[in-house]
Amino acid sequence: MSAATIPASDLVRRRSEVPRTAFHLLAKPTGAICNLDCSYCFFLSKERLYPESSFRMSDELLDAYLTQYLESQWGPEITVAWQGGEPTIMGLDFFRRAVAMAEAKKRPGTRLAHTLQTNGTLLDEAWCDFLREHRFLVGLSLDGPRALHDACRVDKGGHPTFDKVMRALRLLQAHEVEINVLTTVHAANADHPLEVYRFLRDDARARYMQLIPIVERDNDTGFQEGTELTSRSVGADQYGRFLTAIFDEWVRRDVGTVFVQQFDVALASWAGEPHGLCVHSETCGAALALEHNGDLYSCDHFVEPAHRLGNIRDRHMSVLASSERQRDFGRAKRDSLPRACRECEYRFACHGGCPKDRVARASDGEPGLNHLCAGYLRFFRHIDPTMRRMVQLLRSGDAPARVMFERAGRNDPCPCRSGKKHKHCHGR
């Protein structure tokens, strides 16, 4: 029985019984179906989980999803997030219905924040008008300048996609849609950190960036099994060097004007404040994935039979999200840390990284070490003095951007971008 066919009196009764477990959900209306064939994409293989499926979320399931999800959320702002595969394959009319339905179902006084993660290749003027009207935050995948982007991000015919993505970016910007650029860091672009960052900052004019490491298991199932990685995966030290090079550029001239998720999360960790990024949280399990047919999974990176919690047609999603099984999944991130992580001086900022990447062994042979450990360690050690200073500035009521002026040499360009040397501007 769908939410649309449940008697109103029963719906009210159920709402009062919904467990108050905080969780976030990524809804995948097309499942793993995508119009691109990115070589490192971990999700394309999930198509094999549903061999007879049409891979389209029905309106009945859409109704059930939004009813249950909005019942489950208790804050003044609720994020409704769409991902894929490629969600825009569903077409604009589906999203018009989804937004109208969500707005009709939300509680009085509640504000909805709509988000969409997309490769951008299907966006046009009508899409951008809609995204602007409903204040969507759009996560757009862009891996750097043309050669680095097209190294992995190709369509089903193997053709490059850079021009289509840049067209989408310019359309979104022209319509003043809020954008986060999502950049995966892999073997093809990881040795070019400044080329990637400066392109995103100067050419793409991105102000919000995420630098997402590709750590891809080499197996036939597409699940998080085995310890061998593909050659497309970024190396541990390689990722550390990538982050530190960009950090040095950022802290020299872009603090307060360019927002890099990894740097914002690090500052929150050094300040002892919550940041919400599960990768570097002590536990996880609060970010679930909903497949097109109603199957609910523990995590977007664990859409596989062992981590299927159930189907929202059969049980309310909040019951599944608050189940002991899901709690165990989240606690395992902390409880399975090897001793090397438990005793690490940067545990507070790292917490072992994402469990999907824990394929290495510590120096004493204990399993469960994150593949990226050496890179994280390099990065955290490098930024430690600057982070401590930025926290001091925050706690004194000053802006963290002050570090740019403190680090500038007398003959360096002034960080205020006046065009003058620092000694003739703010360095006087």
Task: Provide the residue-wise pLDDT of the chain in tens; the chain has 428 residues.
Answer: 334 444 433 443 455 566 667 899 999 999 999 999 999 998 999 999 999 999 999 999 999 999 999 999 988 999 999 999 999 999 999 999 999 999 999 999 999 999 999 999 999 999 999 999 999 999 999 999 999 999 999 999 999 999 999 999 999 999 999 999 999 999 999 999 999 999 999 999 999 999 999 999 999 899 999 999 999 999 999 999 999 999 999 999 999 999 999 999 999 999 999 988 999 999 999 999 999 999 999 999 999 999 999 999 999 999 999 999 999 999 999 999 999 999 999 999 999 999 999 999 999 999 999 999 999 999 999 999 999 999 999 999 999 999 999 988 888 888 888 888 888 888 87
Span between the terminal Cα atoms of the chain, in Å: 72
Instruction: Yes or no: say if 353 and 216 are a contact pair by the CB < 8 Å rule.
Output: no
Report the predicted TM-score, pTM, of the whole model to 2 decimal places.
0.93
pLDDT number for residue 424: 87
Q: What is the DSSP letter of 217?
A: B
Is the separation of the CB atoms in 269 and 275 below 8 Å? yes
List for the chain the helix, strand, coil content (%; round to 5): 45, 15, 40
Q: Residue 293, CB half-sphere, CA atoms under 13 Å: how many? A: 14
350 and 369 Cβ atoms separated by less than 8 Å:
no
212 within 8 A of 183, measured Cβ to Cβ:
yes
Whole-number pLDDT of residue 11: 41
Three-state DSSP at 185 gives strand
Is-contact 36 121, C-beta < 8 A?
Answer: yes
Which positions are catalytic? Answer: 300
pLDDT value at residue 118: 98
